Structure formats: structure tokens, C-alpha cells
Amino acid sequence: MSSVKDQITELVEKYRDGVAPIVSLGDPVLRQVAEPFDGQVDDSVLAEFVELMRRTMKAAPGVGLAAPQIGVPVQIAVLEDPATIQEEIAEARHRYPLAFFAAINPDYRPDGHKRRGFYEGCLSMPGYTGVVNRHFAVHATYTDPTGHPHHKTFTGWQARIVQHETDHLRGTVYVDKLEPRSVSTTSNYSANWNDPVPTRAAKALRFHLD
């Protein structure tokens, strides 16, 4: 098996002007604990890798992407959410724009006991969605690509994205945490359950909603 350094270098060279293929659920790389980034590649290659991840995320399109999702088991994730949704939905979901950033070796812990449940999906499992009850607010720590440490509190949908992507780096996919009875194809979700808050779905499908 090639090293993280070799994998990053190969992807950067192969997809210098494009996007990398996203691996799907069932690929073992999504189930292993990613190794910490500790300088496996130099700053210039790291910057190119982060930009490749950003292009891949935006093309998918998605609001986050973890390195294992393009086959590299290293603790790097990119996040960005334009949150171009109706104001009513934004308020119900506490979903507001999240400026792009790359998180290296991220971690999080709950901030308080409040939890909220919403439908979410994953680029590595297209075509399906399910409700995940997550912490409403989290304290996150991470390093940016220039080596500066960050300590930040995220709330609402931004906290959801942080949890989702950081979980990927621990070998955890959102299906591990979802409410099983909530699982739906994206087409059935759009046709039946696309409400600002999944209260009606929880009652009809009989699943727990925080």
C-alpha cells in the first residue's frame, strides 16, 4: 500500500486541473482511522491538495469533503457552505453561510447538551438521506494549512458539517449515527419529507427526533 505522501502527490499530479473521483461507501479507506497530518508533504503540495479537495467538493456539489473520501487516509477536511436557501429554512435549521476553510487534524467536543435532528447526506453514499441527531454546538480545534492553530465554536448547521467531516477522519460515516427508520432515497425525500424541520417525517415514519 502506498504512503500518504505518495497518494497525495499522485492525486495532485493526476488531477491538477480537474477533480478527484469520490470513493463510495464500502471502500475500506472510509472505515479506517486516518493518520494525522504531520508534514508528509511540503507546504506547496499541501496547498495544491487542499485546492484539489475544494474543487472536488464544489463540483460534487457538497459542503464538506474529507481526504478519505478521495482515497487518502489523512486527517484533512475542507468545508464551505454558501447556504443559498430560503430564509424560513435557514432560520429553522440555523443554516448560515460558512466561509471556506481547511481543517487539519480537527477534533470537536460538545458545547452544552442541546441536540437537533435533521436530514443529511454524504457524497460517498449518493441517492440516500437520513436524519442524524447531532450536537447543536461544538468546540472545534484544528490547524490550518499554514500551521496556525484554531479554537472555534460552531453552532447549528455549521456544527453539523464540522461533526460530519471530522467523523469521516475517524472512520465513521453518517449512516452509523442516523435514525434507521428515517432513511429515504433522495427522490422520496424531495417528494415527501422536504420540510424545514423533519417533525412530520418523525411522526409518520416513527423515528426519534431531538
* Residue linked to cell 459542503: 63
* Residue linked to cell 457538497: 62
CB 162 within 8 A of CB 135: no
Active site residue 165: yes
- Kindly report the backbone phi and psi dihedral angles of residue 187, in degrees, each rounded to the nearest multiple of 5, phi listed first: -70, -40
User: Residues 8, 11, 15, CA angle at the centre, nearest 5°?
Assistant: 145
Q: Which of 163, 195, 193 is nearest to 176 (CA)?
A: 163
Grid cell for residue 195: 420540510
DSSP 191: I
Looking at 48, 80, 120, 165, which residue is catalytic? 165
User: Which active-site residues does the annotation give?
Assistant: 165
